[in-house]
Amino acid sequence: MCGIFVAIDSEKSSQFLISEFMKIKHRGPDASDFKMIKEKTHFGFHRLAINGLTPKGNQPMYKNGVWLVANAEIFNYLELANTYNIKLETGSDCEILIDLYQEIGEEGMLEAIDGEFAFVLYDEAKDLFVAARDHLGVRGMYIGYDESEVYFASESKAIAFSKQLHQFPPGHYWNSYTDEMKPYFHHDYSTTALSEKDYCLEINKLLTESVEKRMMSERPLGCLLSGGLDSSLVAGILARKLKEKGKQLETFSIGLEGSPDIEAAQKVADHIGSKHHSIICTEQEFLAELEHTVYMLGSYDVTTVRASVGHQLVAKYVRDHSEVKVLFSGETADEFGSYLYFQNAPNAESFQEESVRLLKDIQFFDMKRGDRSISNAGLEARVPFADKAFVNFFMSIPPELRMFSDQKIEKYLIRKAFEDEDLIPADVLWRRKNGFSDSVSSKKKSWSEVIKEHVETLVSEDEFSNEKFRFTPEPSSKEAFYYLKTFEKSYGSHFQLTPYQWLPKWCGEVKDPSARVLEIYQAD
- Which residues are tagged catalytic? 2
Distances (CA, A) of 452 to 1, 438, 520: 32, 13, 22
Distances (CA, A) of 261 to 77, 265, 333, 420, 431: 37, 6, 18, 24, 11
Percent of the chain as helix, strand, coil, to the nearest 5: 45, 20, 40
- Residue 60, preceding peptide bond in cis (omega within 30° of 0): yes
Starting at the edge strand that comes first in sequence, how are the strands of the sheet with 61-63 ordered? 61-63, 66-74, 115-123, 128-133, 172-175, 180-183
> Rounded to whole angstroms, how far apart are CA atoms 424 and 236?
6
Using alpha carbons, select from 286, 391, 280, 287 the residue that is nearest to residue 335: 391
AA letter at 60:
P
Contact status, residue 97 vs residue 68, Cβ threshold 8 Å: yes
Starting at the edge strand that comes first in sequence, how are the strands of the sheet with 3-8 ordered? 31-38, 41-47, 3-8, 149-153, 142-146, 164-167
CA dihedral 385→386→390→393, nearest 10 degrees, is 120
- HEC-encoded secondary structure of 442-492: CCCCCHHHHHHHHHHCCCCHHHHHHHHHHCCCCCCCHHHHHHHHHHHHHHC
Please report the sign of the dihedral spanned by the C-alpha atoms of residue 42, residue 45, residue 51, residue 55.
positive
- Chain centroid to Cα 135, Å, comes to 12
> Rounded to whole angstroms, how far apart are CA atoms 365 and 513?
12
Contact status, residue 491 vs residue 156, Cβ threshold 8 Å: yes
Contact status, residue 448 vs residue 516, Cβ threshold 8 Å: yes
Beta bridge partners of 164: 145
Kind of pairing between the strands at 172-175 and 128-133 = antiparallel
3-class DSSP state for residue 2?
A: coil
Question: What is the number of other CB atoms lying within 10 angstroms of the CB of residue 490?
Answer: 15
Kind of pairing between the strands at 275-281 and 326-328 = unpaired
Contact status, residue 47 vs residue 9, Cβ threshold 8 Å: no
3-class DSSP state for residue 367?
A: helix
Contact status, residue 5 vs residue 21, Cβ threshold 8 Å: yes
